[in-house]
Amino acid sequence: MVQPKILNSMDSFVWARLKLDMTTPKKTKFVENVRGLVTFPHYFEDRPRKNVVLFCRLPEHIKAAEKHGAYMFGYTEVIKQFERGDVTDTNYEYVLCAPDVYADILHLRKKISKDKFPNPQYGSLHPNVDKMLEKFIRGKEYQSVKYEEARGILELRFGIVR
């Protein structure tokens, strides 16, 4: 049972705070900070909607972008806006890409910061565009922070008290 006197608000977030062991089998080597996105079966609003840019040209990908409310999506016009410098890193949180147009946006690497450029390892370059959009628009970010060489903390919001 939640005590409103303690929390002062019934709309407070529920946080998980994990202490991480950053050691590896090799005594002098340590794990780097981890970051990513996780989606929960229950959606909760924890910040203003994320702006996501999607490079795509297939009609079903454009339909998925409209359905999920992507900030900017398309092919030729979106590429031109990046080339002209009309869009900067401050306009969006993530850049996603359908695999069929990836080769066509490689020249934009200098215009898009390294941590935001589509990458299959991070999931921002994936054939299932609908699932990718849901992950990046509805997903919750997490990132570990080292407080010692071998220890770190990861904090993540995973719900609302209500």
Q: Which domain holds residue 159?
A: 1-40+139-162
Q: Do 67 and 89 have their domain in common? A: yes
Residues 3 and 67 in one domain: no
| Residues 56, 80 within the same domain | yes
pLDDT at residue 15 in the model: 85
Compute the average pLDDT of residues 24-35. Answer: 91
The answer to whether residues 18 and 98 belong to one domain is no
pLDDT in tens, 106-137: 999 999 999 899 999 989 999 999 999 999 99
Do 71 and 134 share a domain, yes or no?
yes
Q: Say yes or no: 134 and 146 in one domain.
A: no
Give the domain CATH number at 129: 3.40.50.790
Domains identified in the chain, total number: 2
Q: What is the pLDDT of residues 45-85, one digit of tens each?
A: 877 778 999 999 999 999 999 999 999 999 999 999 999 99
Whole-Å CA distances, 124 to 54, 75, 94, 100, 152? 9, 16, 8, 13, 26
- What contacts 74, CB < 8 A, 6 or more positions away? 54, 55, 56, 57, 62
Same-domain check for residues 127 and 158? no
For residue 3, pLDDT over 60 is answered with no
Residues 78 and 88 reside in one and the same domain: yes
